Amino acid sequence: GQLRPGATAGGPHVLGEVLVASESGAANLWTVGKGMQKVRAEDSNLYFNAKSSWRWCEFTAHPRVMLYADRTGADPASCHTLFRISSSAECRSGERLILSRYLGDAHSFHHLITTQYSAYIMDERFPCVPMLKWDHMMQNPPVFCHIVPGSASSGSAAGGARTTKVLVEACVSRGPPQALLRPRDSLKHLPVQIPHRMDTATNRLSSPAAGDPSDPTVYVNCHSQTNLKLRPLKSKY
């Protein structure tokens, strides 16, 4: 539809940038030579229905953070794009993001991004420009990462005065597959009961609704420093 501007603001940081807020609820950043980029879009007022189409936008102290306001309040809106497959150098065809992790313990501006092929260290101050990229050569894509402080005597440094290592590992099992016994198969591990009580217990535990439904979560220790949290499937019968 037709754009009905509610506010316009020239950019104080980057030459050729203009913010345009429309009564439809959209705020767009217009850049000379690049066109429009949507910053914020709201179908209604921010915090409650003020029945007002008035919108306002302006720049803030940060060149990529804009202020979006209506009659109910004001919110900062970020124009950042930290990482994009299509715009990052040397991304492969079919590459997809698997894990994103903030590395605040190592550096306040750094993030770890992993795909099925590579791992990237990104800096918030330099969006879409990897600080570091390496092929992890893992058969399964990494789905977990943990920051491990390095030795203070090491000569190298990453993001500060101390060494920081980012270990990326594929999610693998630490032991053989474990299974819980079906309720009716657990009777042989219980104290011996007289026959009629055994028959009653067998019939009870053979029922699809057997057990206490108030807490269906079961925790199992696999004797390999791994705890499994299991939830039974609900019977459809």
The 10s digit of each residue's pLDDT in 50-77 is: 888 888 889 888 888 889 888 899 998 8
pTM for the full predicted model? 0.48
Q: Which residues of 128-159 are buried (b: 16+ CB within 10 A; e: fewer)?
A: eebbeeeeeeeeebbeebeeeeeeeeeeeebb
Give the residue-averaged pLDDT of 222-237: 41
How do residues 66-106 score in pLDDT, each as one tens digit? Answer: 898 888 999 988 887 888 887 566 678 888 998 888 888 88
What's the confidence (pLDDT) of residue 236?
43
The percent of residues above 90 in pLDDT, for the chain, comes to: 2
**What Rg value do the Cα atoms of the chain yield, rounded?**
28
CA distances from 64 to 11, 14, 60, 67, 173 (A): 10, 10, 8, 10, 43
Residue 233 has pLDDT above 80, yes or no: no
Please, what is the average pLDDT of the chain? 73
Q: What are phi and psi for residue 104, nearest 5 degrees? A: -60, -30
The percent of residues above 70 in pLDDT, for the chain, comes to: 70
Cα–chain center distance at 172: 21
How do residues 112-138 score in pLDDT, each as one tens digit? Answer: 988 888 888 888 888 888 888 888 888
**Any idea which of 7-21, 48-62, 158-172, 220-234 has the lowest mean pLDDT?**
220-234
What's the confidence (pLDDT) of residue 72?
92
Kind and range of the H or E element at 59?
strand 56-59
Give the residue-averaged pLDDT of 3-28: 82
For residues 114 and 151, give the distance between their C-alpha atoms in angstroms, rounded to a whole number: 25
